[in-house]
Structure 1
Amino acid sequence: MHETIIKNLSFSYPGTNKLVLKDINMDVGEGEFVSILGQSGCGKSTLLRLLAGLEKQSSGEILLDGIPFSGPSLNRGVVFQDYGLFPWMTAGENIMLALTQRFPKRDKKELKRIALDMINAVGLDKSVYNKLPKELSGGMKQRCAIARAFAIDPPILLMDEPFGALDAVTRAKLQDMVIELWHKQEPKKTVFFVTHDVDEAILLSTKIFVLGQSPSNVIFTCDIPADNRPTRETQFEDVAYLNMRNTLIRYINQDVATRIG
């Protein structure tokens, strides 16, 4: 079981005394889809970078099964808003680079089959394997980035506003694709998903943490029962959904109003 625990986590950038995160606490079970929700600039992406091992906390701990995180690891897949594809490599080569680092002893033909299967799983034609990122649309590039993250089969997947730069139609399609991939895989990956979109958070998540403004801490937590999850078609007719949506918006807006004065 891969349980992720964040204990009294605080962070300030080196050379400054200004706290960005203060005493963050989270307890996340294996296979949960967790959204980290809050206003822009509240430290959501910083928290994800700490989970990815790309930054070092000032104090506190991040534990996986009781063992502290230490630096980046291929046990944690990361999807950024800006795709993170190397422009001089084809889509397939980008995925293969991650696969060969994750599974250095496995046969290259087997890894290529995994890459092709994941390209197909994210709704792209296998011919995309040989295309450079500049030949792909924004939505196609993000599908490739998601395929790369799922291909290395990490127990933890970190997603930093991955659909923020996409149009509404493409965004909805990729939301549905990610939740379908997450549901299909067993054991399910633990997903940490950063967003400032309340509707996106409710639609995707099993648990939501709301962060307040900097220095940020958790100001509200809610669980979303899997058997009572609204669908995209029914969400705005669902009373429970609307109540949860209003509660989340109220917490975010109250925190902003309190800090403004």
Structure 2
Amino acid sequence: MSNSWIPLLFLIVFSTCTTNSPATMECDAGDRAALLKIKAQLGNPDLDITGTSISGPVPVAYLAGATGLRTLVISDSKLAGSIPPSLAELPNLRYVDLSGNMLTGTIPPGLVHGEFRFLILSCNQLTGEIPSCYGGDDIDTVDLSHNRLTGDPSPFLFGITRPTTKIDLSWNELEFDMTGVMFPHHLRFLDLSHNRIAGKVAKSLMDVRLEHFNVSDNELCGEIPAGRFMASHGADCYARNRCLCGTPLPPCNGGL
């Protein structure tokens, strides 16, 4: 059987499931056996179900024991409820994309493991603080945008030696002072817009070659650092803050 059929087979099995209660997804015994047989025989490390109409909780019962699973994508669907902490027990899971659903509750720690990790939980209804484990040296992408997250992730999520390339925390309720934050040199995408971030624009950003940058709609104030890579950021990147000034915004007046 060709591996190209695996996502379709998973989709066929999942589509026959019905949610009988908020906490349990039940399926026909034959469908469950078929899924388990596929998993056992093919050892497929990826599960990608994107843009389907799967509803109910994350189908953790089907993932239990899938120790070889590396990629889990169930995006743009109708998943609801919390993210099961038991997903953290899958030791090889390094790529999780549950974006575009209706998930609530907090983000469990330890969902991704190993090198070159990706955590994509954007466009849900998640609350609480971001666990500090997602600031590790081996994480590549953190996209938690369009949720209701709170707290201050700056002590662990940013750091001058981190190899992270993408951090998107936009459209949340995060609060911290950006002034002294040391952003990773390898960072290429940084979106912190639509939060409650205060202080000044960090000078460390002068040394970061960002392809995408946005800190608009926050509470930043003071003169924007000039020089090096800052020249590539337009005025829209800084719009609707409390009192930012300096290039590319109007000049500062007095003691700002």
TM-score after normalising by structure 2: 0.27
TM-score after normalising by structure 1: 0.27
Name the structure, 1 or 2, with higher relative contact order (CA <8 Å, separation 6+).
Answer: 1
Greater Rg, structure 1 or structure 2? 2
The structure with the greater share of residues assigned to helix is 1
